[in-house]
Amino acid sequence: MSDAAAPTRFGEGPLSRAAARTAGDGPVDVHSAWLPPEAFRAVGSRRALVCGAGTLVGTVRHELARACARYGGTVAWRSGPADAAPEDRTGAVDLVLALSTAAPLPAPAAEVAEECRRRHGAGALGAEGFALARTGDVTVVLAEEPAGLLHGLFHVVRLGESAFGAGRRPERHRPAVRLRMLDHWDNVDVHPVMGQVERGYAGGSIFWRDGSPRGDLTRVRDYGRLLAACGVNAVSVNNVNVHATEARLLTDRLGDVAAIADVLRPYGIRVHLSVTFAAPVVLGGLPTADPLDAGVRAWWAATTRQVYDRVPDFGGYVVKADSEGQPGPFTYGRSHADGANLLADALAPFWGVVHWRAFVYDHRQDWRDRSTDRARAAFDHFAPLDGRFRPNVVLQVKHGPMDFQAREPVSPVVAAMPATRLAVEVQVTQEYTGQQRHVCYLAPWWSELLGFAPWGDHRTVAALAAGEGGGLVGVSNVGDDPFWTGHPLAQANLYAFGRLAWDPRLDPAAVLDEWIGLTFPPGPAGGHDLVRRTLHEMMDDSWRTYERYTAPLGVGFMVRPGHHYGPDVDGYEYTPWGTYHFADRDGVGVDRTRASGTGFTGQYPQPWRDVYESLDRCPDDLLLFFHHVPYGHVLHDGSTVIQHIYDTHFAGAEEAAALRARWDRLDGLLDPGLHTRVRERLDEQVRCAEEWRDQVNAYFFRKSGVPDARGRRIP
């Protein structure tokens, strides 16, 4: 079914004038997200000095100049030793942002540089890190590279007045994860089924419209600014399903990509491109795309050289191969290592990387065949290839073994490939978590995934993604919607993705408060505390609320086929997609044990291979992912599976209604356009949650014949 055919009637009203803030210097009808002018009040009212040169330092100056013009501060700039010391011209300063290379440093910065060297040694800040310290009455941000200075500026913006508080202890910040990337599933041509943005719930693409690049890239620059301010440093600009027009971005339409790269560069964001593995055939006119063919290798080398001629800081390629109909090395009897290494070799001279996706499975399986298990596929394909990938191949692994469900175990691939660079992929766009019609703050989910320890020791998923050259990748939830993300509260997911990619140890609740504080500064109507408190209450647990009223106990995929919105318990049960729950009159769930099932539990190291194997020890929230159990099976909390299904679905729908009631308390305190948009979406969430509740409960009541112990009405 066409994604475009999914419901679209909610909240498409224009952003009201009051909320129509300038994003960057951009169009006035775009919401400013987490960078409203008020966020810059503290820096904009200070006397700032910037020391250093280059494009990104220019961005720092520009940001400060704009803030100072609004809030009465000043900004001076010293590009190098030849300049007169600007303190002499401007008097004292409150804020110094300096590159450590911009000698001679002004006294406060020199002091911080010396202290930083003494404590951490030379090179302690790296390519993107920075130090923040107070010396006397001056706040100093020190970086070794321009990108670090920009991140330091946005850190000060996040801190607001507290960055200037006396007694602030020195801090050093470096991103834990090197590749912090958003993948856009944007099509250049409007796809007849998937539309302009595949799984996009926020309008059209900010890059492309109806087969062409958008002429005005103001919006893209504002996007880069928002991303830099939360820590993202790379963007892939087209869908991993590469269709005919999109394939040409690599060659004759490369100029379109270069234009985007030019606009994102000042914010330290590198551009990547999804390419088709068949490019030598479909673009180069070669008879084959065989990765071991000399002509094919020469074609990729020459084509890649041309890419770097146009975009010298180009990040690299993203490839979905042999997956859901995309071409790949299997056609030529070659392995995924052969395929990935082909592109890696072409990119290596320019320090580019290939993000090779591990999302490879049989999407034409026979539902009657209970031995084939989609969950096993990525491991079965890739684990044997560990050690065979070039150093500039990053294997991009979906966080779970299936497909971005609201609950899945962590993919065993992350623990199976110690000799391969890994990026973990999460879905910021809410394909399976309410499609930006439902409030669903995903950071607690990602945090749980990142904190998972495959061996039960200190080696978490976050540590693996942070390993040498690893990454965290999110599928973007942004479109040309005035609120960026359709549902205004879904902005929090984009923000949190960047923040967790920078530092996976951050507390998602604290990140939420940070986002709320920046995005909803005190307004003329007052009630600021109520606004903050209410938003926190609504969003903090919203992922679990969503989980409660949708698919139970990790079973997943009870969505309507095609567009994946709303309930359809058997929607995928008799299809070729490998996404089954096997419910019958006696029980439900997928037996993935070694003892009697598909053996998927054996793909995990200890302790999890035994924990998941054991009916007693398996965590309840993943029970039906790993086991087929009778409805009367007793969970750890004493409830039966069937009663748990009823209880959580009643509770989840009630919680959805409570969200709307909470939101209503904020009427009159927020911009009316934003309030209305969220209210409309909450109406839909409440309706949809009831639909989920009734369909899931009725389905299992009819299958099992077991009545609700509390006698509630099940239709």
Beta-bridge partner residues of 140: 96, 133
How far apart are CB 427 and ligand GCV at their closest, in Å?
8
109/558 with CB nearer ligand GCV: 558
CB 667 within 8 A of CB 678: no
How far apart are CB 325 and ligand GCV at their closest, in Å?
10
C-alpha 214/C-alpha 107 separation (Å) is 47
Candidates 94, 145, 222, 403; catalytic one:
403
Radius of gyration of the chain (CA): 26
Cβ-based burial of 29 (10 A; exposed 0-12, middle 13-18, buried ≥19): middle
CA-angle at 201, arms to 377 and 246, nearest 5°: 65
404/692 with CB nearer ligand GCV: 404
520/565 with CB nearer ligand GCV: 565
345/403 with CB nearer ligand GCV: 403
131/273 with CB nearer ligand GCV: 273
How far apart are CB 183 and ligand GCV at their closest, in Å?
9
Cβ-based burial of 356 (10 A; exposed 0-12, middle 13-18, buried ≥19): buried
Torsion angles phi and psi, residue 11, rounded to 5: 55, 45
41/184 with CB nearer ligand GCV: 184
CB 279 within 8 A of CB 247: yes
Q: Is 309 left (phi over 0), alpha (psi -120 to 50) or beta?
A: alpha
CB 385 within 8 A of CB 335: yes
Written as one string, the DSSP assignment of 324-382 is: TT---GGGGT--HHHHHHHHHHHHGGGT-EEEEE-----TT--TT-TT--GGGHHHHHH
Among residues 31, 125, 141, 24, which one has the least CA distance to residue 494?
31
Strand positions, DSSP E, 79-167 = 95-99, 130-135, 138-143
How far apart are CB 404 and ligand GCV at their closest, in Å?
7
How far apart are CB 430 and ligand GCV at their closest, in Å?
12
Torsion angles phi and psi, residue 455, rounded to 5: -105, 5
Candidates 128, 145, 322, 431; catalytic one:
431
Task: Provide the binding-site residues for ligand GCV, judged by CB under 6 A.
Answer: 185, 198-199, 239-241, 320, 359, 403, 431
Q: Count CB-CB contacts under 10 A for residue 53.
A: 16
How far apart are CB 563 and ligand GCV at their closest, in Å?
9
CA distances from 316 to 5, 352, 463 (A): 34, 5, 23
Classify the C-alpha dihedral 433-442-235-160 as positive or negative. Answer: positive
How far apart are CB 196 and ligand GCV at their closest, in Å?
13
Among residues 421, 575, 440, which one has the least CA distance to residue 494?
440
How far apart are CB 194 and ligand GCV at their closest, in Å?
7
CB 78 within 8 A of CB 97: no
128/431 with CB nearer ligand GCV: 431
206/402 with CB nearer ligand GCV: 402
Share of the chain residues as helix, strand and coil, in percent rounded to the nearest 5? 40, 15, 45
**Single-letter amino acid, residue 303:** T
Candidates 25, 216, 309, 324; catalytic one:
324
191/681 with CB nearer ligand GCV: 191
431 tagged catalytic: yes
Give the DSSP H or E segment for 147: helix 146-159
128 tagged catalytic: no
Residues near 532 by beta carbon (within 8 Å), at least 6 away in sequence: 513, 516, 517, 520
C-alpha 411/C-alpha 514 separation (Å) is 30
How far apart are CB 239 and ligand GCV at their closest, in Å?
6
130/497 with CB nearer ligand GCV: 497
403 tagged catalytic: yes
How far apart are CB 682 and ligand GCV at their closest, in Å?
25
Positions annotated as catalytic residues are 324, 403, 431
